[in-house]
């Protein structure tokens, strides 16, 4: 069964977690990636991180005693989901451009 | 200097309570603790902080609430008080007002979830009120049938009025949920 489309926020969170980041770092990175267009709220991020961890798409790294902030990173399963989503988005853009040019 | 204020807000009046706490902060009173009807404030710079109230599933000591508050703390959001209800906890969160366009939640699902919890509580309150009204009316009818002097009590009338008000509120919230769901279908 094809995977359901990811929300914009989830897509950017997973993309950000190609390198380990803590919550605040994710918010900053998503803001930078989207040129300030996507502003992630901490409550929304918290819910998304829990859901993605439960799905096995991201992992929480063991807590560092020096930094009280929990870091997350994407898993192999998460990378596969992200690749599939990029393929779906490419198809959307390609079809969109093609039909706009033709009509 | 600390100031204690006693004020009653019903559980479904969270947005109103939150607006009042933020208005107090605008006037230089920052919330430092909250109870069901007691609010304690300390002097702060006018508008230094903003406050957000949230209803979370579970008791204050539950893993769900603890993990959420720990995560918020990492984000620079402090918990200044809480009030417990069966199955839920209302937490009072404080953040620096210099954080522009900051909101605890930005997605539609979270807003829908909050409205659903509120509808649940309101439905419970409506059922209690309706039951009180039915009981009072049954007593009234029984007394009439027996030929006793009877009258519709003030409590009975109030129960009915409250039930109607609550159902109107439920209807408004259901309409909000439908609007949010329709929006989610388009934008998320």
pLDDT digits (tens, 9 = 90+) for B1-29: 899 999 999 877 888 999 999 999 999 99
pTM: predicted TM-score of the whole model, two decimal places: 0.72
Measured between beta carbons, the chain B residues lying within 8 angstroms of A8 are: 188
Mean pLDDT to the nearest integer, B143-155? 79
Decide: A14 and A78 in contact? Cβ < 8 Å. Answer: yes
- B149/B115: higher pLDDT: B115
Residue B92 has pLDDT above 90, yes or no: yes
Asked whether residue B50 is domain-assigned, the answer is: yes
Instruction: Read off the tokens for A31.
Output: 């803001």
What is the per-residue pLDDT for B153?
76
Asked whether residue B103 is domain-assigned, the answer is: no
Place of tokens 């006018």: B46
Mean pLDDT to the nearest integer, B180-184? 80
Out of B96, B118, B150, pick the residue that ends a domain.
Answer: B96
What is the per-residue pLDDT for B121?
84
For domain A8-102, the CATH architecture is Orthogonal Bundle (1.10)
Mean pLDDT to the nearest integer, B56-70? 90
Q: What is the 3-state secondary structure of B129-160? A: HHHHHHHHHHHHHHHHHHCCCCCCCHHHHHHH
Instruction: Read off the tokens for A11.
Output: 């897509």
Out of B96, B124, B150, pick the residue that ends a domain.
Answer: B96
What is the per-residue pLDDT for B78?
93
ipTM for the predicted complex comes to 0.78
Contact B74 A22 (CB under 8 A): yes
Measured between beta carbons, the chain B residues lying within 8 angstroms of A42 are: 71-72, 75, 77, 104
| B65 Cβ contact partners less than 8 Å away, ≥ 6 residues apart | B56, B57, B58, B59, B89, B91
Q: Report the alpha-carbon distance of residue B153 to residue B133 in Å, rounded.
A: 10
Q: Report the alpha-carbon distance of residue B75 to residue A51 in Å, rounded.
A: 19
Helix, strand, coil % (nearest 5) of chain B? 55, 25, 25
Q: Report the alpha-carbon distance of residue B69 to residue B81 in Å, rounded.
A: 11
How many angstroms separate the CA of residue B102 from the nearest CA in chain A?
7
Domain ranges, residue B170: 108-187
Decide: B111 and B187 in contact? Cβ < 8 Å. Answer: no
Least trusted range by pLDDT, from A56-60, B93-97, B140-144: B140-144
pLDDT digits (tens, 9 = 90+) for A29-88: 999 999 989 888 888 888 889 989 999 999 999 877 777 788 999 999 999 999 999 999
């Amino acid at each position: 069964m094809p995977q359901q489309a990811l929300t914009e926020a989830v897509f950017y969170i997973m993309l950000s977690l190609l390198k380990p980041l803590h919550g605040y770092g994710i918010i900053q990175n998503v803001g930078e990636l989207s040129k300030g267009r996507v502003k992630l709220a901490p409550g929304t991020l918290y819910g998304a991180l829990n859901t993605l961890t439960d799905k096995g798409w991201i992992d929480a790294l063991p807590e560092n005693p020096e930094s009280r902030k929990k870091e997350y990173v994407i898993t192999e399963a998460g990378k596969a989901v992200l690749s599939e989503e990029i393929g779906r988005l490419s198809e959307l853009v390609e079809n969109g451009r093609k039909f706009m040019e033709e009509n | 200097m600390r100031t204690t204020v006693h004020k009653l807000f019903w559980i479904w009046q969270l947005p109103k309570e939150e607006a009042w706490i933020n208005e107090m902060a605008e006037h230089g009173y920052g919330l430092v603790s909250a109870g069901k009807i007691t609010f304690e404030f300390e002097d702060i710079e006018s508008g230094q902080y903003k406050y957000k109230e949230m209803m979370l599933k579970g008791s204050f000591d539950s893993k769900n609430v603890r993990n959420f508050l720990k995560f918020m703390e990492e984000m620079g959001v402090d918990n200044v008080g809480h009030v417990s209800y069966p199955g839920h906890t209302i937490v009072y969160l404080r953040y620096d007002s210099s954080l522009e366009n900051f909101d605890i939640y930005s997605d539609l699902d979270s807003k829908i979830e909050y409205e659903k919890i509120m509808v649940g509580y309101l439905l419970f309150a409506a059922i209690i009120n309706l039951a009180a009204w039915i009981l009072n009316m049954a007593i009234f009818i029984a007394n009439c049938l027996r030929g006793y002097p009877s009258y519709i009590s003030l409590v009975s009338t109030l129960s009915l009025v409250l039930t109607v008000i609550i159902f109107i509120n439920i209807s408004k919230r259901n309409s909000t949920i439908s609007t949010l769901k329709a929006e989610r279908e388009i934008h998320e």
